[in-house]
Homo-oligomer: A and B are copies of this chain.
Amino acid sequence: MKDVENISSMMAELGQRARAAAKVLATAPAEAKTRALNAAADALWAARAEVIAENAKDLEFGRDKGLSDAMMDRLMLDEARIQGICDGLRSVAGQDDPVGAVMAEWDRPSGLHIQRVRTPLGVIGVIYESRPNVTADAGALCLKAGNAVILRGGSESFHSSRAIHAALAAGLREAGLPEDAVQLVPTRDRAAVSEMLTMTDYIDVIVPRGGKGLVGLVQREARVPVFAHLEGIVHVYVDAAADADKAMRVVMNAKTRRTGICGAAECLLIHRDQLAGLGTEIVKALLAAGVEVRGDAAIQEIEGVVPATDADWGTEFLDSIIAARVVDDLDEAITYISDHHSQHTDCIITEDDGAAAEFFARLDSAILMRNASTQFADGGEFGMGAEIGIATGKMHARGPVGAEQLTSFKYLVVGDGAIRK
């Protein structure tokens, strides 16, 4: 009880500081933010040896905790990865500043001139898990958009995140911006997460990046608005009118390029007319590439396919596994996907413009693709520089969330003594 009270007052203090910093950030010149990000990259690179030493503590903690190889790999930092984080900071620094951009302007018969102008959201809370680079990416994007941010990294990356955060703080100091613009929650206690989810006075929006446990906690407890980031339960549908070569290339890339990212394909739907030829070839190619194919009754006929269970449909494997089933037509494909996807990314392979249009119209995924790998579901690939994640909700931000999506807007209305009749 005592601890929770302490955490509550500690978080409130972080919140107050973030609010104060947000006021300064909201009107900070673009140059100051750019300078802070470039200086942070310099500071991080200069401190790479210390960062790697801090990261070693996290790796040891992870080993003791028995983390999987995949998780240990996500956690690990070396010079090349730190170089990548520095490049990311410089890339965000180099983007256009979204704050103050005029989104639209028009005149009214009343004599008013109206502008719709981008403004920061205020204070953003980012809750994430093991990858330490999110500390830099999320911190940089929030700062670019003129927001203060409270970062709550996973307990596994505690020391690494602290070391990266120190570089961000150094950058802010060098640019004369308040250090409180980017704060890192200084405890591993999970009570801090619950606190963030209900700090409506101090946090304007929560960006949760993590697995089912975190998503569930957010859905139960959040009082602060949330940019939902659900899993990527990504479907690829090979239509009756699919081109064989495109289908093979796209499915293989969508599943096997990297299996652990949210844009990786998790379920393959094959039109019944394609099953005997192209469909079988694709399944065989997946098996040959070492992918475990969990099929429905029809696909189980192909040698090497294992039977799918109910739990395999609508599941994010994030592994070298794919569920596969046959559908009778486009309508069945769309209905099935509607019932099983997470509104993240879904794809149709077809040469039929009508089928593509129907797929695009009837599904309401954040990203819909035609004849392109779902692994393109990424802010960088969309040309947004960096991303804080792929939002799957429908409110405010959707799809890849870059600096521009971390803003709000206001109307500036100018008259010359105009009064309303």
A interface residues, Cβ below 8 angstroms from B:
26-27, 100, 106, 108, 110, 112, 114, 119, 121-122, 200, 204-205, 219, 225, 243, 245-246, 249-250, 252-254, 257, 356, 360-362, 364-373, 375-376, 378, 381-383, 394-396, 398-399, 408-420
Contacts and interface: CB of A to CB of B under 8 A. Distances in A.
A417 B295 CA distance: 24
A381 B372 CA distance: 44
29 contacts: A26-B361, A110-B376, A112-B381, A119-B364, A121-B394, A122-B394, A200-B219, A225-B225, A246-B416, A246-B417, A249-B417, A250-B417, A250-B419, A254-B419, A360-B412, A368-B412, A368-B413, A369-B413, A370-B412, A371-B415, A371-B418, A372-B413, A372-B414, A373-B415, A375-B419, A381-B420, A394-B408, A395-B408, A399-B410
A253 B420 contact: yes
Nearest to A100: B361
Nearest to A378: B420
Contacts of A381: 108, 110, 112, 420
Chain A binding surface, main DSSP class: mixed
Please state the number of chain copies in the assembly: 2
Nearest to A22: B364
Contacts of A395: 121, 204-205, 225, 395-396, 408
Give the residue among A356, A372, A408 with the most B Cβ atoms within 10 A: A372
A368 B399 contact: no
Contact of A112 (B245, B372, B399): B372
B420 A373 contact: yes
Contact of A396 (B27, B372, B396, B412): B396
B383 A419 contact: no
Contacts of A382: 108, 114, 411
Given A394-B204, A395-B396, A372 B257 contact: no
B249 A419 contact: yes
B383 A410 contact: no
B369 A414 contact: yes
A110 B219 CA distance: 36
Given A110-B376, A364-B119, A372-B112, A399 B411 contact: yes
Nearest to A369: B413
A27 B366 CA distance: 16
Contacts of A200: 219
Nearest to A343: B410
What are the 9 tightest A-B residue pairs by CB atom distance, in nearest-first order?
A: A372-B415, A246-B417, A253-B419, A394-B408, A396-B396, A375-B420, A372-B418, A369-B413, A373-B419
Contact of A367 (B121, B205, B410, B418): B410
Contacts of A366: 410-411
A383 B418 contact: no
B375 A415 contact: no
A118 to B, nearest CB: 11
A33 to B, nearest CB: 15
A420 B360 contact: no
